[in-house]
Amino acid sequence: MNQASGDFPPLSLEQRARLAERYGLSEAELGTLLADLWLLSEEGVEDYARRRHGELRAAGLPNERCFELLEREIASGRFAAPPLSQRQIKRMIYG
């Protein structure tokens, strides 16, 4: 299966049709949305920390503010990992 084509997560044609109708999406748009959601759900805590740090820095936030936000976001329960300290987050980003 090709993730870019929207094959993930595997849904029945009925499920896909229901979602497309409910949210007013074409089949192509639904496929793109499902692929993006699938990839995000597969993103681990280290990849998330690196990606999100880059987004926050690109938005002009200083590193210390980025680390504060990342610490809260990671602790919010999105990941099955225990909460991480700012030091642990910095080690993920910078090695």
Q: Is the pLDDT of residue 87 over 90?
A: yes
Residues 49 and 87 in one domain: yes
Based on the domain organization, do 22 and 61 belong to the same domain?
Answer: no
The reply to whether 38 and 49 lie within a common domain is no
49 or 4: which leads in pLDDT? 49
How far apart (Å, rounded) are the C-alpha atoms in residues 31 and 71? 32
pTM: 0.55
Half-sphere exposure of 94 (CA within 13 A, CB side): 8
Q: What is the number of domains present in the chain? A: 2
What does the alpha-carbon distance between residue 89 and residue 83 come to, in Å, rounded to a whole number?
A: 10
Q: Give me the residue label for tokens 């084509």.
A: 5
CB 8 within 8 A of CB 1: yes
Pick 87 or 84 by higher pLDDT: 87
Residue bearing the bigger pLDDT, 11 or 52: 52
Check whether residue 37 and residue 18 sit in a common domain: yes
Each residue's pLDDT tens digit, 22-79:
999 999 999 999 888 887 778 888 998 999 999 999 999 999 999 999 999 888 867 7
- Decide if 92 contacts 46 (C-beta within 8 A): yes
Same domain, 38 and 51: no
Residue 23 belongs to domain spanning: 3-42
